[in-house]
Amino acid sequence: MKKMERTFKEKLSEKLMSFAGIIGKNIYLLSLRDAFMLSFPLTMFGSILLVVTNFPGFSEKTREGLGALMGHSIESSMLLMSIFVSIGIGYYLYLYKNPKRTQDAIYSGAVALVAFFIVTPFSVKLENGELMTGVIPTSLVGAQGLFVAIFVSIISTTIYGFLLNKNLTIKMPKDVPPAISKSFSAIIPGFLTLSVFMIINILFKHTKFESIHTFVYEFLQKPLVGLGTSFFATIIAATLVQFFWFFGVHGHLVVNPIMDTIWNVASLENLNAYNAGQPLPHIVTKQFMEMFSVSIGSMGALSALTAIFIVSRIKQQREVAKLGFIPGIFNISEPTLFGLPVILNPILAIPWILGSPITISIAYFATKIGIMPRTTGVAVPWTMPLGISGTLATNSIMGGVVQIVGFVVMVLLWIPFILYSQKQYEEEKRKNKNEAKEKE
């Protein structure tokens, strides 16, 4: 029976590993991931300034003064996400498609950015109804334009790379410096690619939407963000992350490439509202998922290790707890997952898989009823310790308090399963001892 169970687990693990490999090697998801990571240092700069300007305890006058000094820097680094993502996708997707032509990637990134600008209206409707032209709406280069930036960059890079690979280029003499030769090579592919988006923009101008931004936002981005940030979708996504980890598959690498775009858009929309002093629209954001999910170390690994210190008498478990405790403080779970192990351990997998739905539910409903404010969209490193990260993400001590409540609940959840695994270990040890005596 045990052999059949092991075979089933191994087969399922292989299938999940294969599926994870397909997701993990998808060049479009990889380029999207890398594009967001490109923007991370920039948004981190703005996030730190935003935390400083809105630090709890500062008077309104102090906040206004700091806002006047730092506001432009915050907006420049945090409200232009679509521009960063557009360049990043154009650059990285070209590299993934053409790994031997690295020098051309920067031109692909530039073409993607210009293609995005071509389909973006350079006008803003004022409150009095007057149309101001010659300006770029920050909303369309921020959260609202993110889906357009993604689609336009993927399509423009695909067209540009295809034309370049078909040698539709201006050939320069060999004695011309490479930098000049490359720029001339980009002229025809770039011209044809940008012409496609010029035609798209003209066509949309003659519709009731007036721009592709309005069309994509109303019919795709808004419904997807609403669905992806719903309570049930969040629980399903978090549970799948834990489920994949049970089989030794990095759950974040499977689920996050699909969900991150939605969660990042929600974060940006919260950030825009926070900067404008308006109510924050979303409970579930990228920061919410990182700060209140068991898949991040403190909630999951650290709570398991704390439970071991409290109740376990097994030397092996206590040694793992000693080794994994410091990494666990900084949200690194792997030493615990593979050391206990939680991987392919049906007993310890129960609190591991159930944990995320529980802690996310606590945080979600604490936010819903007003105990904890919504995450502001400020970028907080996922390695930030428990309590501090929740406070920074929500700009409220209650964010840290809710994290600690979730942590305590997780410790209590782990204890009976640690005790049961200890009982199993002692029975196995007794059985082996009796078998050894019988052989003597």
Element at 50 (helix H, strand E) = helix 27-53
Average pLDDT over residues 139-144: 83
In a domain, 263, yes or no: yes
At residue 9, the pLDDT reads: 58
State CA 62 to chain mean position distance.
33
At residue 80, the pLDDT reads: 86
Using the predicted structure, report yes or no on whether residue 13 has a pLDDT greater than 70: no
Coil, helix or strand at residue 123: strand
Pair (241, 197) in one structural domain: no
Residues found in the chain? 440
Pair (273, 404) in one structural domain: yes
Mean pLDDT of the chain: 85
At residue 397, the pLDDT reads: 93
Cβ contact 183:294 at 8 Å? no
**CA 83/CA 140 separation, integer angstroms:** 10
Cβ contact 273:279 at 8 Å? yes
Pair (300, 207) in one structural domain: no
Domain end point (choices 205, 228, 251)? 228
At residue 85, the pLDDT reads: 92
At residue 345, the pLDDT reads: 84
Pair (198, 78) in one structural domain: yes
Cβ contact 392:51 at 8 Å? yes
At residue 3, the pLDDT reads: 53
Choose the weakest-confidence range: 54-58, 145-149, 240-244: 54-58
pLDDT band at 21 (very low <50, low <70, confident <90, very high): low
Using the predicted structure, report yes or no on whether residue 121 has a pLDDT greater than 60: yes
Domain end point (choices 199, 228, 257)? 228
> Residue type at 410?
M
Using the predicted structure, report yes or no on whether residue 30 has a pLDDT greater than 70: yes
Buried (b) or exposed (e) across 367-401, using 16+ Cβ within 10 A? beeeebbbbbbbbbebebbbbebbbbbbbbebbbb
In a domain, 21, yes or no: no
Q: What is the CA radius of gyration of the chain?
A: 26
Pair (239, 224) in one structural domain: no
Pair (287, 388) in one structural domain: yes
If you write DSSP's letter for every residue of 240-292 in order, what string do you get?
HHHHHHHTT--HHHHHHHHHHHHHHHHHHHHHHHHHTTPPP--S--HHHHHHS
Query: Which residues span the domain enclosing 399?
Result: 230-432
Pair (238, 221) in one structural domain: no
Q: Which of left, alpha, beta for 277 (phi over 0: left; psi -120 to 50: alpha)?
A: left
Average pLDDT over residues 291-317: 82
Pair (252, 149) in one structural domain: no
pLDDT tens readout for residues 269-293: 998 898 888 999 999 999 999 889 8
pLDDT tens readout for residues 360-392: 999 999 999 999 999 998 888 878 888 888 999
At residue 409, the pLDDT reads: 94
At residue 316, the pLDDT reads: 85
If you write DSSP's letter for every residue of 382-430 in order, what string do you get?
TTSPTTHHHHHHHTSHHHHHHHHHHHHHHHHHHHHHHHHHHHHHHHHHH
Average pLDDT over residues 224-231: 90
Pair (188, 251) in one structural domain: no
In a domain, 151, yes or no: yes
In a domain, 7, yes or no: no
pLDDT tens readout for residues 184-221: 778 889 999 999 999 999 999 989 888 899 898 888 88
> In the block, which residue shows the tokens 């999951």?
300
Using the predicted structure, report yes or no on whether residue 331 has a pLDDT greater than 90: no
Using the predicted structure, report yes or no on whether residue 140 has a pLDDT greater than 90: no
In a domain, 8, yes or no: no
Sign of CA dihedral 59, 65, 66, 67: positive
Contacts of residue 335, Cβ cutoff 8 Å, sequence gap at least 6: 301, 320, 323, 324, 327, 328
pLDDT band at 37 (very low <50, low <70, confident <90, very high): confident
**CA 15/CA 21 separation, integer angstroms:** 10
Q: Which pTM was predicted? A: 0.78
Cβ contact 83:42 at 8 Å? no
| Angle value at C-alpha 75, between 69 and 78, nearest 5 degrees | 130
Pair (50, 171) in one structural domain: yes
Cβ contact 120:80 at 8 Å? no
Choose the weakest-confidence range: 8-12, 104-108, 197-201, 373-377: 8-12
In a domain, 438, yes or no: no
At residue 330, the pLDDT reads: 83
**CA 70/CA 379 separation, integer angstroms:** 17
Domain end point (choices 171, 204, 228)? 228
At residue 23, the pLDDT reads: 67
Pair (93, 118) in one structural domain: yes
Pair (287, 236) in one structural domain: yes
Omega cis (within 30) before 341 = yes
In a domain, 305, yes or no: yes
**CA 85/CA 65 separation, integer angstroms:** 31
**CA 227/CA 370 separation, integer angstroms:** 22
Query: How many domains does one find in the chain?
Result: 2
User: Of 320, 327, 292, 322, whose CA–CA distance to 421 is shortest?
Assistant: 320
DSSP lists the bridge partners of residue 132 as 124
> Residue type at 334?
E
In a domain, 9, yes or no: no
pLDDT tens readout for residues 230-264: 999 999 998 988 888 887 777 777 787 778 889 98
